[in-house]
Amino acid sequence: MKKPTLSLKDEAFLISNEISSNDPLHKIEAKLTGKMVVIKFQCDNHKGLATKALLEIEKLLLSIKDLTILPFASSFLDVLVMAKGERNEV
C-alpha cells in the first residue's frame, strides 16, 4: 500500500491515494481549492457502496454540492464529488 501523495499545482492541492499498485481501479484523488474539494474515486458496483462512501465524505464536514456516478465496465462505478467545507467560523 502506498502512502498518499500531496502535490501543489495552480494554488490547488491534489491528494492521490493508490490503494493497490496491482489494481489501477482502486484509486482516490482529491483536489482542494479554497473551501471546494473535488473527489474522484472508483468503487465496486455493489448496492449501497457508493452511498456509504458519500456518508463518509459528509462526516468530514463537507457538504456535497454536485455528484456524478457513472457505470465503468460491468462491475465498477466511477464517482466524482464536488463538495464545500462546512467549517464553523467564529
The confidence band for 1, taking pLDDT boundaries of 50, 70 and 90, is very low
CATH number belonging to domain 5-85 = 3.30.70
**pLDDT, mean over the chain:** 76
The CA distances from residue 19 to 24, 33, 51, 57, 76, in Å, are 9, 24, 20, 17, 16
List, in order, residues 6 or more apart from 39 with CB less than 8 Å away: 28, 29, 30, 57, 79, 80, 81, 83
| Model pTM score | 0.68
- DSSP assigned state of 54: H
Size of the chain, expressed as the number of residues it contains: 90
The confidence band for 87, taking pLDDT boundaries of 50, 70 and 90, is low
